[in-house]
């Protein structure tokens, strides 16, 4: 449950908030929190970093978007999917089957509300009811 008073949002939950940014072409030093001498200031990202946890040793399983998203969402090596090279094209066959448990699906099973923002819809069809996620497409 959340309540708002002015600019303050108070949440009463035993679960910590989880925000995961999976960004194309963003380097270690692109957030000003990690690179104060950088040319671009990122005050909102800096605030999230100051008030939460940051992880600075992460690796992508592929240099391409669809396989990397597949790995993040499923926890599986991306080339174990039906996609053996390249990326999922618009209106292509989804990589993640509706019955495969995903990272958001696991969180929902533990009481979280999840949302995915951006270009992730091409990875899966309508999710199975027990692992339902909410997605927003740009």
pTM for this predicted structure = 0.69
What pLDDT, on a 0 to 100 scale, did the predictor assign at position 67? 83
Radius of gyration of the chain (CA): 17
Q: Is 131 helix (H, G, I), strand (E, B) or coil?
A: helix
What pLDDT, on a 0 to 100 scale, did the predictor assign at position 4? 55
137 has a pLDDT exceeding 80: no
Residue 37 burial (10 A CB sphere; 0-12, 13-18, 19+) = exposed
């Amino acid at each position: 449950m959340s309540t708002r008073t002015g600019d303050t949002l108070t949440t009463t939950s035993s679960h910590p908030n989880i925000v995961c940014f999976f960004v194309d072409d963003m380097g270690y030093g692109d957030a000003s929190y990690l690179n104060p001498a950088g040319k671009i200031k990122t005050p909102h990202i800096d605030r999230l970093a100051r008030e939460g946890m940051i992880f600075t040793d992460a690796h992508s399983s592929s240099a391409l978007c669809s396989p990397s998203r597949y790995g993040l969402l499923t926890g599986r090596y991306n080339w174990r999917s039906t996609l053996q090279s390249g990326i999922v094209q618009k209106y292509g066959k989804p990589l993640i089957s509706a019955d495969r448990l995903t990272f958001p699906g696991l969180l929902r099973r533990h009481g979280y509300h999840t949302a995915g923002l951006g270009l992730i819809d091409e990875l899966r069809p309508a999710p199975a009811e027990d692992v339902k996620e909410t997605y927003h497409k740009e």
